[in-house]
Amino acid sequence: MKPLALLAGLLALPFLASAAPATRPNILFIFSDDHAQHAISAYGSKVNQTPHIDRLANGGIRFNHAFVTNSICTPSRAVVLTGKYSHANGTPVFNVFDGGQQTVAKLLQGAGYHTGMIGKWHLGSMPTGFDRWVILPGQGIYNDPDFITPHGRITVKGHTTPITTQLGLEFLETRPKDKPFFLMLHQKAPHREWTPDAKNKALFKDRVIPEPATLWDDYATRPAALPENQQTVAKDLTRRDLKLEPPADLPPGPQRQQWLNAKPMELEVTLADGTRKTLTGKPLVQWKYQRYMQDYLACVQGVDDSVGEVLDYLDRTGLAQNTIVIYSSDNGWYLGDLGMYDKRFMYEPGMHIPLVAKGPGIKAGQVTDLFALNADFAPTFLDLAGVKVPADMHGRSLAPILRGEKPNDWRTSVYYRYYHDPGHHNTRAHYGVRTATHKLIHYWKKDAWELFDLVKDPTEQKNLINDPAQAGKLAELKAEIVKLQKQLGDTGQFANEIPADGVDAPVNVPKLGVKTVAEAVAAMKP
């Protein structure tokens, strides 16, 4: 899809004046929501193909071990903006983000970059540090979404993934040509409830998705928190998730919502041969897994289509020569791994995120096992732009690694902390450390520990905490946690309740009606 034609009035605005290209690189950060690293073919996906994200990986660098510091949407976005862990940026759970604090957008804006934020924001407060922005309210919706602009709330007809993409392309088309740009292009997809566009829904409708080896995990060696979780494929997918149609005689209202939110344990379904059958037990779990994955992967495909459209635009306009494109996601995701969907837990699928980058100065064809954090994104953006990285940021610039260097003093361990207890899905609070070979998790409210040998047990099935032979490793990892907490200033004293208003509360702004993409772009300017 080509960028929509600009309105004549928009073309006449003074900020469109053309000038010589900037020498500093443009930075385009494409951010999806809940995209599992192992749902990308460049990472060896067994369930789908993502040719356009692969273009970034193959033409630049792929980080095999990029991690979040807190695997949940709002806290992750706050980490990306500030370069600081949750306890330092004030957003450990679904707190409204304090936009008055230092952010990478403000620092780049102050350094002369034209800054933009488009798509999913999910931080409760209005964006600051951006010359132009248009954001989804709260989680946003997939079809005919509303967007919040500096002037009010608008509705744009269509599916949110291509709309967000078009808003991004229009931002690039209408940017001031005498400045480098920093654009955060944030997709809603593939967030729950996984509503794909029509093309990709049809593409995955009859796909049979391979089941992960741990879909039937019984949590036998990990009794502290996993048995309590409420994000399992077997028990916790709702009728809404499974796209089941309510009875025709059930009118809109509370009863209809109650029906959609129920978690069915017996279903009459239509099989591939057209016959109807009532499913329970294992056959029903298998059916639920297929329905969930078909919609999830179709949403991922829409994001990949978007990445391809953006890359094609950069190539076509010549912007690719001076634009660094980075793709990542706000957290990992479970594709039936350990029997789950969602994120939150510190196990590998939820802690890992995709991170690929391509552009000038980035050596093509690189794959690195060096540890990267989402806290590294802000320092990296600043370093790429030639802006000094503030000393209070916890992350480090990845720029040397992008250039093909291997810093001698690079981190060999990663600290993680999840606060929201019990929160959504009844995930218990925990912190821990991951090294190249081991992981130690502490559910501090339960005083329970889990220890894994990631070399021998990469799917984290065997908790070694009671193995006497691991006493030395356990002591070593506990000491590493204490060291990292001290370095980060994490005292452990932080409230974890959701504020009454929360980040999904409606934003009180005037409604401006249905708008086109070009009109939405015009409404971005504060």
The single-letter DSSP state of residue 405 is -
Residues 6+ apart with CB under 8 A from 321: 360
Can you give the pLDDT at residue 494?
59
Domains and their CATH numbers in the chain: 23-196+292-408+501-522 (3.40.720.10), 223-288 (no CATH), 424-488 (3.30.1120.10)
Can you give the pLDDT at residue 422?
86
**Token pair of 294 as six digits:** 């078909």
- Per DSSP, the residues of 334-354 read -SSGGGB-S--S-SHHHHEE-
Can you give the pLDDT at residue 64?
98
pTM score, whole prediction: 0.94
Hey, which bits of 169-229 come out as E strands? Answer: 181-186
Can you give the pLDDT at residue 409?
95
Can you give the pLDDT at residue 506?
64
What's the average pLDDT block by block, 10 residues per block, for the chain (526 residues)?
32 29 85 98 98 98 98 97 97 93 98 98 96 96 97 96 98 96 98 98 96 98 97 98 94 94 95 89 97 98 98 98 98 98 98 98 96 98 98 98 96 97 91 98 96 98 98 98 97 59 73 89 85
Q: What is the pLDDT of residues 161-190, one digit of tens each?
A: 999 999 999 999 999 999 999 999 999 999
Counted residue by residue, the chain has a size of 526
Can you give the pLDDT at residue 471?
98
Question: In whole angstroms, what is the distance from residue 113 CA to residue 245 CA?
Answer: 48
Within 13 A of 51's CA, how many CA atoms are on the CB side? 4
Helix (DSSP H) and strand (DSSP E) numbers for the chain: 14, 20
Question: In whole angstroms, what is the distance from residue 212 CA to residue 141 CA?
Answer: 29
By the 8 A CB rule, do 147 and 170 touch? no
Can you give the pLDDT at residue 15?
29
Q: What is the pLDDT of residues 353-370, one digit of tens each?
A: 999 999 999 999 999 999
